[in-house]
Structure 1
């Protein structure tokens, strides 16, 4: 556990930017590891969809069990999408980090999203207190753990860059290791965020709208690039399109784009490499 957390932290200290893709089960985690990625991150949406429920409907116990399975699937460090944690209070944020570390996660993220559509973002002071408590919990651990603090403004129609940067700066001051504001859709905004803070910044690609290359994002100051639910949405999209073709057209042309059995099996037998 100590090595995983330290290994994960060192990725943030290397030059340039790195991709941390988001598997949603053991199989996809092992495929991404075989392809040569250096770390993995869970996706709360991907987890929920794989369970057949909407995002935000998975219990803390189920979330930790899912994370444990991803951790056990490969030797790579894993950072967890912990959403808002086990509750709204600073104490619940701290408990979430302790529980995440106990199952072998190398890191995890906490959001300032309340889970309430009519009141989606925590009050500034409470949001900061939650990160302060999470940082205190992280510092009490016997091993390293990389804490990511998320500002969810842009995902909930609050496209206030000044408030987003204000929150990220407060999270940085509180001791968060990585800062993350999902939903930034242009390089100018991404650059503004990266220039405003001194801690590593995570940016998500694969959302609707503009996407940028690793090179472009690294030049903007980004350190870590995740893809959130993009991979699971891609996979489910292919599945649904194939099912619709069978149901509506009575044809099976989708199979032309399917990966060959031997190649797919190779990922799980150790035969397929990057």
Structure 2
């Protein structure tokens, strides 16, 4: 079984209180630590990588992001998915090639940019092209930014999810969705649902699973906690 097949299989048949927990490494050292802790797969957050490279979130050049993904993948023996923001303007075939060259088994693609939410049908078309180019070699996680962009009606999120699933998305990621609407989103979606969690805050991964999460990710939460720890150590050293 390839790593991509292993990663896909991790999403199947999960019990409600046992979602797939995917912590987010930002470099090779953090990836090794997380893999050694026993996590079966990892999900690279673009914001965490950006911070580690000295960039603001969303400003990492594509070349540097793919190089960072490759370093992380080389450091571990578990499948690694990567957040590649909105795809850096790359044509679908090139985007897929770059991800596969880096060794990623999956990717997040978001449906907004600096101007706001993208046209849902146009984004679905792009997802379909990525899906076709990947030919089963990548697990496609479609991030839905409605809640981040002030669209509070869950129906709008479900509508976008349906379009993206029809286009071939393996998973949908309604980032920022209020906990109270997770059961509704779960019932209205035919594929796994990725839920964002804050470390040490709010429901536990198991509780999020009971509410509808198939998998749980933390964005740059681990990187920010690590930076906070370094800040505390620096204060002690002074």
TM-score (norm 1): 0.80
Matches within 5 A, 1:67-82: 67-82=69-84
**Among candidates 58, 63, 67, match of residue 65 of structure 1:** 67
Q: 2:48 aligns to what SS in structure 1?
A: helix
Q: 1:156 aligns to what SS in structure 2?
A: coil
Q: Which residue number in structure 2 is paired with residue 12 of structure 1?
A: 11
CA shift at 1:150, angstroms?
0.9
Change (3 A) 1:66 1:253: closer
Q: Which residue number in structure 2 is paired with residue 132 of structure 1?
A: 128
**Which 5+ residue runs of structure 1 have no aligned equivalent?**
247-251, 255-274
Contact 1:202 1:222 in 2 (8 A): yes
Q: Which residue number in structure 2 is paired with residue 50 of structure 1?
A: 52
Alpha-carbon deviations, 1:108-153, whole Å to 9, x = none? 1111112x1xx221112221111111111122xxx63211111112
Query: Between Structure 1 and Structure 2, how many residues are aligned?
Result: 235
Alpha-carbon deviations, 1:5-47, whole Å to 9, x = none? 0000000113221101001111110000110000001111100
CA distance in 2, matches of 1:79, 1:19: 13
Contact 1:84 1:93 in 2 (8 A): no
CA shift at 1:253, angstroms?
8.0
Structure whose CA Rg is larger = 1
- 1:195 lines up with 2:187 in the alignment: yes
CA shift at 1:86, angstroms?
2.4
CA distance in 2, matches of 1:63, 1:215: 31
Q: 1:8 aligns to what SS in structure 2?
A: helix
**Among candidates 229, 238, 252, match of residue 229 of structure 2:** 238
Contact 2:197 2:205 in 1 (8 A): no
CA distance in 1, matches of 2:102, 2:52: 21
Contact 2:120 2:163 in 1 (8 A): no
**Which 5+ residue runs of structure 2 have no aligned equivalent?**
none
CA distance in 1, matches of 2:169, 2:100: 15
Q: CA RMSD in A?
A: 1.9
CA shift at 1:242, angstroms?
4.3
Q: 1:225 aligns to what SS in structure 2?
A: strand
Q: 1:155 aligns to what SS in structure 2?
A: coil
Deviates more, 1:210-219 or 1:145-154: 210-219
Change (3 A) 1:112 1:67: same
